[in-house]
Structure 1
Amino acid sequence: MSSNAGYTLADGTRLEDLVSVPTREVQMRALSDPEIYQLEMDRVFGRTWLLLGHESEIPASGDFIVRDMGSDSVIVARAKDGAIHVSLNVCPHRGMRISTVDAGNTQIHKCIYHGWAFRPNGEFIGAPVEKECMHGRMMPKEELGLPQARVALYGGIIFATWDIEGPSFDEFLGDAKWYFDTLFERSDNGLEVLGPPQRFIVRANWKAAGEQSAADGYHTLTLHRWLGEVGNYSKSGDGGSADLSPEMYGVEVSSPHGHALRCIDLGRKIKKLTGLDPAELSVEQKLEALPPPGVTREMLPQLMKRLSKEQLEVVVSMPPQVGGIFPNVLFAFVYIPQADGTVLGLTLLHAYVPKGPDQLEFVNWVLAEKDAPAELKEKMLMQSIQLFGTSGMVEQDDSDTWPHMTLAAKGARGRRSTLKYQAVYETGAPKGWPGPGIVNEGFTKDDTQWHWWLYWNELMNART
């Protein structure tokens, strides 16, 4: 991507100076500046692939949901041929939003202002009083349809981009796709949503949440310390200490495109469940002892068939459990201890949708394998909401920090402070690690988040 060096903000600051590559610092004003926010809508959200939902939200012909791509509202609709289309939710006649509801089913999307009508694929049908040709004769009907985003389905997840000639979705994921496939492409019938996503507003800049989603493990020690103290999460049974630092060791995978994965050792969990040394167990025995989150033992043959030997090695030893897809997606495929000593796996996606320089919409999808039994889905849904939902124990912590960061970034002095990413890995990948990417092992560091900011910086300074 070529550089557009030289863009200067209104106060004289060069855009490229917001990120100091030699010292791994980012100016705090990036979390509050309206001018930077407007540039992001074109240069980040106008160029990257964005998560909009899951195809199971719109299973039937005519089904639609309304979502946002940056600051643009879009209609995500299923046409009669089953194809999914993403159309700009702006009537080309007078600029009215065509759909003013969150979801529904229709074969005709009709603007409430003057009645212009469109098909689920965005094609213009016509305007009322056809004989008067109220759309005019200056432009053919074919040119009056709704602008279309480019669409990709990945494991049933709907992504879209306005960059029609840009990288494919697979190219965008790059090496990280090898790991994401172990989460989203592991079963024959795939994932589905357990109801519509939860959505709530947080008064914070979207990047405060976005950069944390890039596998920030370190904050868990302090912000989520209750995970080592409360109920089923208490470490008291493991020697009386609530110290979570042992959980901070693992493997972290960075991406030149800002994606990140935090891979956490399953050895302790498998040993606790089986009483056996994981090193002495086969891949099949480890899968039987602790199936991946959301997967039942009956589904394990599907994993064995769909994933490579190398991917299965990672799944049973150091699987990706949390991380992000640039720019604003967090995934959580986590193991939750239960009161009876068993483990429940949860599978979730979050998106942090920008709603202005100091406001984001938090969108939470709870997922489950379509083949999972109903009672398992219900249990996953309840515990996902309790932990990661609108009022979830984890998200109450996270959503408290982001507004404070955003407010601090507005201060006359605070905006000149910097975010620092100076805890650097010096290890590289563990010996024999089978996966690609920028891989490091050991205690969690800042590298994954720093690569998130590097790609943000690259996009912001790219030639328009």
Structure 2
Amino acid sequence: MLTQTSPTLADGTKVADLVNVDTREVQMRTLSDPELYELEMERIFGKTWVFLGHDSEIPNSGDFVVRDMGSDSVLVTRDKSGDVHVLLNVCPHRGMRISTMDAGSTQIHTCIYHGWAFRPNGQFLGAPVEKECMHGKIRTKDELGLKKARVALYGGLIFATWNIDGPSFDEFLGDAKWYYDMLFQRTDRGMEVLGPPQRFIVRANWKAAGEQSAADGYHTLTLHRWLGEVGAYSKKGEGEGAGGDLSPEMYGVEISSPHGHALRCIDLGRKIRRLTGLDPDALSVDEKLEVLPPAGMTKEMVSQLKNNLTEGQLQVQTTMPPQVGGIFPNVLFGFVYIPQADGTALGTMTMHAYVPKGPDKLEFVNWIFAEKDAPPEIREKMLKQTIQLFGTSGMVEQDDSDTWPHMTLAAKGAMGKTMTLKYQAVYETGKPEGWPGPGIVNEGFTKDDTQWHWWLHWRELMTAER
């Protein structure tokens, strides 16, 4: 348990008071305040586990990519032993960036300023004109290596933290890991990236996107209404889901986490009925996996699930599988079904990171994945359709990235910053009968609980003892 304190902002406001626990409200100034932003870089991105990419982006010895941990640039490298390292992209000599590129491959990272050289594991090799000992004799070479973060690999996903002695990665995931394993640890060979991530800048505070990634399903009804009105998404006639009505998709199971993680689990039975005409209640677990494999998998890969998932996880996978959610503080993932013109469904696997670039600017980074065992024709379709929907120019992202700047601008107003974000739609249901999974579980129409728990963890970290 973190020891609580409460830093005070320059105007005398306590950070703890920005989140009203009793009324479930958050002051809008949290989406624009520069002083808060600096505290977040230290207390959130400087302390918690941050997602940086996937190990298939650096498959070979010497490969590296440059990413951001909050306001710090880092090198994500692979050494000759195959180990992955995350290194502060700052030369310990005079503070120059070691790499000014986005990616590359080298066994020696050389600073362009004075030529100090480092191995992919951060070890300092030396400085030019060795006989003159230009690195001095006050510090040993071992003391002059690049600053190293603590690294965790999870299903190939690369996470890192500067909190070297803090909670383990498993502790960070908590109960949510049981569900994340169904997405990231479900196959024998795992997944890989389909090319480098897409990136674009949004003039918005990172939390406007981050809190939405905490499983906000409600906005789909209005912001993404077109999903029920055009193409293969539309359904003419009468009954559930007809006439562009997306409200049936708002019912399901949602998992909250004290660590701010969140998942939306959507009824698979509705999709089976709609796509196949079969009655899901009359199908066994194996039969449901056969007629509608998990998003991103083919029928030929389904047998691998039993190698990697428990009976309880298979039960959830064939009734209310997790499809959309977030990993605190700034990650959204989507393992969703895209209806096809021929009446079938194509699975998509994508992850977004909302990288803070200032109080009113974020970088949207989008990774697209496929299972390593997926056939080439499926991978190609997944890549194309994911880009069209969830990529930097995707139709869904055009909607979402339009709202966040407006929220950030409103939070700068003299009156706007005094308004509050409200999370007062509260679940009163609890978990479904016989639900096998852990966590804070509720069923029914989507509510605000997952996002509220995101803000509670933000508050916990922002007010923790340094």
Supply the AA of the counterpart residue of 2:435.
W
Please state how far the C-alpha of 1:325 moved relative to its aligned partner. 0.2
SS in 2 for 1:37: helix
SS in 1 for 2:80: coil
1:119-150, CA deviations, whole angstroms, 9 ceiling, x for partnerless residues? 00001000000000000000000000011000
Alignment match, 1:134:
134
How far apart are the structure 1 equivalents of 2:169 and 2:182? 17
Identity %: 78
SS in 2 for 1:236: coil
Alignment match, 1:316:
318
1:263-301, CA deviations, whole angstroms, 9 ceiling, x for partnerless residues? 000111112333221111100000000000111111111
Aligned 1:427-442 pairs, distance under 5 A: 427-442=429-444
How far apart are the structure 1 equivalents of 2:237 and 2:130? 75
Please state how far the C-alpha of 1:80 moved relative to its aligned partner. 0.3
1:216-235, CA deviations, whole angstroms, 9 ceiling, x for partnerless residues? 00000000000110111113
Aligned 1:275-290 pairs, distance under 5 A: 275-290=277-292
Supply the AA of the counterpart residue of 2:52.
L
Which residue of the other structure, out of 397, 400, 421, is the alignment partner of 1:398? 400
Q: Is the CA contact 2:265–2:323 (under 8 Å) kept in the aligned structure 1? A: yes
SS in 1 for 2:389: helix
Alignment match, 1:185:
185
Supply the AA of the counterpart residue of 2:167.
P
Please state how far the C-alpha of 1:7 moved relative to its aligned partner. 1.8
1:209 aligns with 2:209: yes
Aligned 1:152-301 pairs, distance under 5 A: 152-237=152-237, 239=239, 240-301=242-303
Please state how far the C-alpha of 1:243 moved relative to its aligned partner. 1.3
How far apart are the structure 2 equivalents of 1:383 and 1:6? 46
Q: TM-score with structure 1 length normalisation?
A: 0.99
| Range that drifts further, 136-145 or 240-249 | 240-249
Q: TM-score with structure 2 length normalisation?
A: 0.99
1:460 aligns with 2:459: no
Aligned 1:12-161 pairs, distance under 5 A: 12-161=12-161
How far apart are the structure 1 equivalents of 2:186 and 2:319? 16
How far apart are the structure 1 equivalents of 2:331 and 2:50? 8
Supply the AA of the counterpart residue of 2:269.
G
1:58/1:165 Cα in 2 relative to 1: closer, same or farther (>3 Å)?
same
How far apart are the structure 2 equivalents of 1:6 and 1:366? 39
SS in 2 for 1:382: helix
Q: Is the CA contact 2:4–2:460 (under 8 Å) kept in the aligned structure 1? A: no
Q: Is the CA contact 1:229–1:236 (under 8 Å) kept in the aligned structure 2? A: no
How far apart are the structure 1 equivalents of 2:47 and 2:285? 40
1:164/1:296 Cα in 2 relative to 1: closer, same or farther (>3 Å)?
same
Supply the AA of the counterpart residue of 1:205.
N
How far apart are the structure 2 equivalents of 1:238 and 1:292? 28
Please state how far the C-alpha of 1:238 moved relative to its aligned partner. 5.3
1:249/1:75 Cα in 2 relative to 1: closer, same or farther (>3 Å)?
same
Supply the AA of the counterpart residue of 1:13.
T
Supply the AA of the counterpart residue of 1:253.
I
1:237/1:187 Cα in 2 relative to 1: closer, same or farther (>3 Å)?
farther
Q: Is the CA contact 1:107–1:120 (under 8 Å) kept in the aligned structure 2? A: yes
How far apart are the structure 1 equivalents of 2:447 and 2:273? 27
SS in 2 for 1:317: coil
Please state how far the C-alpha of 1:4 moved relative to its aligned partner. 4.0
Please state how far the C-alpha of 1:5 moved relative to its aligned partner. 2.5
Supply the AA of the counterpart residue of 2:164.
I
How far apart are the structure 1 equivalents of 2:157 and 2:19? 32
Please state how far the C-alpha of 1:15 moved relative to its aligned partner. 1.1
Alignment size in residue pairs: 464
Supply the AA of the counterpart residue of 2:21.
V
1:62-117, CA deviations, whole angstroms, 9 ceiling, x for partnerless residues? 00000000000000000000000000000000000010000000000000000001
Q: Is the CA contact 2:188–2:307 (under 8 Å) kept in the aligned structure 1? A: no
Q: Is the CA contact 1:273–1:289 (under 8 Å) kept in the aligned structure 2? A: no
1:193-252, CA deviations, whole angstroms, 9 ceiling, x for partnerless residues? 000000000000000000000000000000000011011111325554211111100000
Alignment match, 2:388:
386
How far apart are the structure 1 equivalents of 2:88 and 2:181? 30
How far apart are the structure 2 equivalents of 1:269 and 1:180? 21
| Range that drifts further, 8-17 or 254-263 | 8-17
1:385/1:6 Cα in 2 relative to 1: closer, same or farther (>3 Å)?
closer
How far apart are the structure 2 equivalents of 1:238 and 1:387? 27
1:417-462, CA deviations, whole angstroms, 9 ceiling, x for partnerless residues? 0000000000000111111000000000000000000000000000
SS in 1 for 2:263: strand
Q: Is the CA contact 1:323–1:332 (under 8 Å) kept in the aligned structure 2? A: yes
Aligned 1:291-370 pairs, distance under 5 A: 291-370=293-372
SS in 1 for 2:316: helix
How far apart are the structure 2 equivalents of 1:395 and 1:148? 34
How far apart are the structure 1 equivalents of 2:6 and 2:298? 55
1:159-179, CA deviations, whole angstroms, 9 ceiling, x for partnerless residues? 101110011111100000000
Alignment match, 2:411:
409
Alignment match, 2:422:
420
How far apart are the structure 2 equivalents of 1:195 and 1:36? 35
SS in 2 for 1:222: helix
How far apart are the structure 1 equivalents of 2:439 and 2:294? 22
Supply the AA of the counterpart residue of 2:82.
G
How far apart are the structure 2 equivalents of 1:277 and 1:76? 48
How far apart are the structure 2 equivalents of 1:89 and 1:236? 55
SS in 2 for 1:441: strand
Alignment match, 1:375:
377
SS in 1 for 2:318: helix
1:238/1:300 Cα in 2 relative to 1: closer, same or farther (>3 Å)?
farther
Pairwise CA RMSD: 0.8
How far apart are the structure 1 equivalents of 2:263 and 2:274? 25
